[in-house]
Amino acid sequence: MSLPSPRHEMNMFRSPYKLLAIAVLMARSVSAQADVQVEGTRVVFPAADQEVTLQMTNRGKVPSLVQAWIDKGDQAKSPDAIDVPFVMTPDVFRVEPGKGQTLRILYTGGALPVDRESLLWLNILDVPPKSGAGDEENQIQLAIRTRIKLMYRPSELPGRAEDAPATVSWSVVDKGAQHVSVKATNPTPYVVNLGRIVLNIDGKKFDAGSGYVLPGQSADFPLAESDHPPARAGKVDYVSIDDWGAARTGSADAVLIKSSR
């Protein structure tokens, strides 16, 4: 089974070196491939460590200017308006073709819970070089943003992160009028990342997508209304993603609950 890849966003603007609050204008999600590629699909920051590092490589044929920043989940917010207890160095840098760059992430202390993991997002904006003289008006410059999860893990949390997906409880939520969803409740202090969720009812399979469940919270995964899934108990087959980006399969019973829309 293929693993989920980091999220990419492509943004279009004429001044490729203008590191705008980061490409919110005319942004749209696409399956594009950035020249500057990050090693890994997520970053786990143990509280016991003073810093973690992330390696990236420019696999393109031209230099790239890169801006890196961390957000709390609001991907449209300008980096200069985000307040997070982390410092990255360097945060703006040039990477030559075929060369790499190590990004250092340092935790400045405070502002995050100590009894559960916190989920933040690491952004890498890959800006291509400016067009040559006379070419600007005839070309579209593309900047690609990669977003990957950054999970800050306090020390001495109970249990193990790799065991958390198996403790998630599942429900089939009947909202009436053929609106059915799968609800996942995470009782652990760890973020549970789910690469795929499939609901099995009466031998039929219904895709509930993918996502994550925060510590001590629930998440709702709607089924496509076109599937017309029956509202009854079933079984959930899921693929969880561990700290290293590896896929782990599992299954669990899902009880039926009624809910008003």
For 72-93, the pLDDT digits (tens) are 998 888 888 999 999 999 999 9
Residue 35 or residue 167, greater confidence: 167
Average pLDDT of the chain to the nearest whole number: 84
Residue 140 within any structural domain of the chain: yes
* Together in a domain, 106 and 11: yes
Over residues 151-168, the mean pLDDT reads 97
* Together in a domain, 81 and 122: yes
29-38, 45-54, 173-182: segment of lowest average pLDDT: 29-38
For residue 175, the model assigns a pLDDT of: 78
Instruction: Give 113's contacts (C-beta < 8 A, 6+ positions apart).
Output: 154
Q: What is the pTM of this model?
A: 0.83
* Together in a domain, 103 and 173: no
Q: What is residue 20's three-state secondary structure? A: coil
The residue count of the chain comes to 261
Picking from 134, 153, 172, the residue at the C-terminal end of a domain is 153
* Together in a domain, 138 and 219: no
Residue 213 within any structural domain of the chain: yes
In angstroms, rounded to a whole number, what is the distance separating the alpha carbons of residues 108 and 131?
Answer: 39
Question: Residue 253's domain spans which residues?
Answer: 161-258
Residue 2 within any structural domain of the chain: no
Residue 1 within any structural domain of the chain: no
Q: How many helices (H) and strands (E) does the chain have?
A: 1, 19
Instruction: Give 29's contacts (C-beta < 8 A, 6+ positions apart).
Output: 7, 8, 9
* Together in a domain, 169 and 253: yes
* Together in a domain, 165 and 148: no
For residue 182, the model assigns a pLDDT of: 96
In angstroms, rounded to a whole number, what is the distance separating the alpha carbons of residues 71 and 147?
Answer: 10
Over residues 230-238, the mean pLDDT reads 91
* Together in a domain, 139 and 184: no
CA distances 66 to 17, 144, 181, Å, are 9, 10, 39
For residue 142, the model assigns a pLDDT of: 76
CATH number, domain at 253?
2.60.40.10
Number of domains in the chain: 2
Picking from 120, 153, 186, the residue at the C-terminal end of a domain is 153
Residue 58 within any structural domain of the chain: yes
Asked if residue 13 lies in contact with residue 22, where contact means CB atoms within 8 angstroms, the answer is no
Picking from 98, 133, 153, the residue at the C-terminal end of a domain is 153
* Together in a domain, 122 and 166: no
pLDDT value at 28 more than 60: no
* Together in a domain, 149 and 166: no
